[in-house]
């Protein structure tokens, strides 16, 4: 068990080496004190850990529990699958959070939450006490909806690559090993799922790779939705560029998989592929469901939009892809980062005995590559609506690119470097 004194010692040591990135230029001190445990070190969790430290002028102690030793980014991972980037380009250390911000980063897994006692249990056997808990658990795949993917062996053959890491590497390898004239089939679940434009970007980047290296091959996009769910006009244009190699099939919900023969079974059809890539339907990460917090549709966490606190479990805040989204709000890394900042601000207020801000605003930008260089975006701004008690898109704001272009290709990579630094450095 980590006791508070031990924690403070560690934080003080870390604070000693660093200067005061959070202090410079700060006119107001922070009264907030307490210990926040953050579960999950992705776009949401890493950001909330850093901003809690920064905005409390190091007054709030933060422990981040993350199962992986390093951060691997989902955004930009489709470029690894397409062969344009390497894993090293999307892999980053948690040392910045440790050394610059004095966050205690534990490589571990939270197995249980006792919200009444304000304690979490770790897989390693330890117990952490908290004043406030932030769950940023991402998504869990609903494999029960995809018969044929019950076994590990099947899942090693039919990959999702929808959580960046070993699966990203494995999918790239399958594509490299595929013969010229082979079929790559990508199954997209019904919305909502993580990263709405992501599957279409992947289809483009795989088609781009195959067009250059194995031009007799095919890309089959099997979409459970009735149409492209994000940047429809722009992706439709991009798909035209891959005419002859890429085929888009809407209303193609996956019913079953035969992993051994890499066959996707649809309602009226069977598609045999050489590389079968299935993005399964999704729900909030397991720890959310196991914590007794209220879910909507048994899938996504119901939160109070002023603080991202669970509506039925005080002291537990949930951010990122795991929450039931507000109208038109995408499940994106960018949005998780924005959730994190609203939550950090709210928690610091709450720990200081003050109410959270009554006017939270978040915004989103998703860049998608349609080939190695050309990019399209979708953007939106969302503001809290006190009457509706949710966050609503600001009318007249946001939009999409006029057309795919190289300048936004540069901006997309710049976005990645800046958001990674915003959460980790």
Partner 1 sequence: MKLLRWTLAVGLIGAMGAVHAEEKADPNLARNLAATCANCHGTDGKAVAGSGAEALAGTDKAKLMQKLMDFRSGAKPATIMHQISKGYTEAQLELVAAYFAARK
Q: Which is nearer to partner 1, 34 or 280 (CB)?
A: 34
CB of 43 to partner 1, least distance (A): 9
Does residue 330 contact residue 196 with C-beta atoms inside 8 Å? yes
Q: Which is nearer to partner 1, 113 or 342 (CB)?
A: 342
CB of 93 to partner 1, least distance (A): 15
Give the residue, chosen from 377, 384, 391, 404, that forms a contact with partner 1 under the rule CB under 8 A: 377
CB of 105 to partner 1, least distance (A): 18
Give the residue, chosen from 25, 125, 244, 353, that forms a contact with partner 1 under the rule CB under 8 A: 25
For residue 344 the two structure tokens come to 């950090």
CB of 6 to partner 1, least distance (A): 29
**Quick one: which segment of 21-29, 158-166, 253-261, 287-295 binds partner 1 (CB under 8 A)?**
21-29
Residue 141 and residue 398: Cα distance in Å, rounded?
A: 30
Query: Mask of contacts with partner 1, 292-331, x by CB under 8 A?
Result: ----------------------------------------
Does residue 278 contact residue 158 with C-beta atoms inside 8 Å? yes
Query: Mask of contacts with partner 1, 40-69, x by CB under 8 A?
Result: ----------xx--xx--------------
Residue 285 and residue 184: Cα distance in Å, rounded?
A: 28
Residue 425 and residue 419: Cα distance in Å, rounded?
A: 10
**Quick one: which segment of 147-155, 224-232, 239-247, 357-365 binds partner 1 (CB under 8 A)?**
357-365
Q: Which is nearer to partner 1, 175 or 419 (CB)?
A: 419
CB of 12 to partner 1, least distance (A): 23
**Quick one: which segment of 107-115, 125-133, 151-159, 342-350 binds partner 1 (CB under 8 A)?**
342-350
Q: Which is nearer to partner 1, 113 or 419 (CB)?
A: 419
**Quick one: which segment of 2-10, 182-190, 275-283, 379-387 binds partner 1 (CB under 8 A)?**
379-387
Task: For residue 381, state whether it binds partner 1 (rule: CB under 8 A).
Answer: yes
Closest-CA residue to 36 (of 360, 425, 315): 315
CA torsion sign, 103 to 60 to 365 to 159?
positive
Interacting residues toward partner 1 by CB under 8 A:
24-25, 27-28, 50-51, 54-55, 334, 337-338, 341-342, 345, 349, 357-363, 365, 377, 379-383, 394, 396-399, 401, 405, 407-408, 410-411, 413-415, 417-419, 421-422, 425
């Amino acid at each position: 068990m980590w006791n508070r004194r031990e924690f403070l010692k560690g934080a003080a040591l870390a604070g000693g080496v660093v200067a005061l990135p959070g202090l410079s230029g700060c006119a107001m001190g922070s009264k907030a004190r307490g210990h926040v445990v953050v579960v999950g070190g992705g776009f949401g969790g890493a950001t909330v850990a850093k901003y809690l430290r920064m905005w409390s002028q190091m007054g709030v102690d933060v422990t981040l529990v993350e199962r992986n030793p390093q951060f691997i980014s989902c955004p930009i991972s489709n470029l690894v699958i397409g062969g344009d980037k390497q894993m090293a380009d999307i892999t980053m250390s948690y040392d910045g959070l440790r050394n610059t911000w004095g966050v205690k980063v534990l490589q571990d897994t939270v197995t249980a939450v006792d919200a009444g006692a304000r304690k979490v249990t770790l897989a390693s056997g330890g117990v952490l006490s908290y004043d406030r808990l932030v769950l940023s658990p991402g998504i869990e795949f609903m494999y029960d909806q995809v018969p044929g993917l019950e076994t590990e062996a099947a899942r090693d053959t039919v990959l999702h690559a929808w959580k960046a890491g070993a699966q990203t590497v494995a999918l790239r390898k399958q594509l490299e090993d595929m013969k010229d004239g082979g079929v790559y089939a990508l199954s997209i679940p019904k919305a909502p799922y993580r990263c709405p434009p992501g599957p279409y970007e992947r289809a483009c980047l795989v088609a781009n790779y195959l067009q250059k290296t194995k031009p007799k091959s095919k890309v089959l996009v099997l979409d459970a939705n009735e149409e492209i769910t994000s940047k429809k006009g722009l992706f439709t244009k991009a798909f035209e560029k891959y005419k002859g190699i890429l085929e888009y099939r809407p209303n193609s919900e996956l019913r079953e998989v035969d992993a051994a023969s890499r066959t996707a079974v649809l309602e009226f059809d069977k598609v045999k592929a050489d590389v079968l890539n299935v993005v399964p339907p999704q729900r909030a990460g397991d720890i959310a469901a196991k914590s007794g917090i209220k879910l909507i549709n048994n899938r996504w966490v119901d939160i109070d939009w002023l603080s991202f606190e669970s509506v039925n479990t005080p002291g537990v805040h949930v951010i990122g892809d795991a929450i039931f989204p507000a109208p038109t709000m995408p499940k994106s890394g960018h949005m998780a980062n924005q959730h994190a900042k609203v939550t950090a601000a709210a928690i610091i207020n709450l720990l200081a005995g003050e109410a959270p801000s009554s006017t939270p605003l978040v915004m989103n930008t998703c860049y998608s590559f349609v080939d190695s260089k050309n990019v399209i975006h979708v953007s939106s701004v969302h503001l809290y609506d006190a009457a509706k008690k949710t966050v609503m898109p600001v009318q007249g704001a946001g939009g999409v690119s006029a057309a795919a272009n190289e300048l936004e290709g540069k901006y997309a990579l710049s976005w990645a470097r800046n958001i990674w630094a915003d959460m980790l450095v």
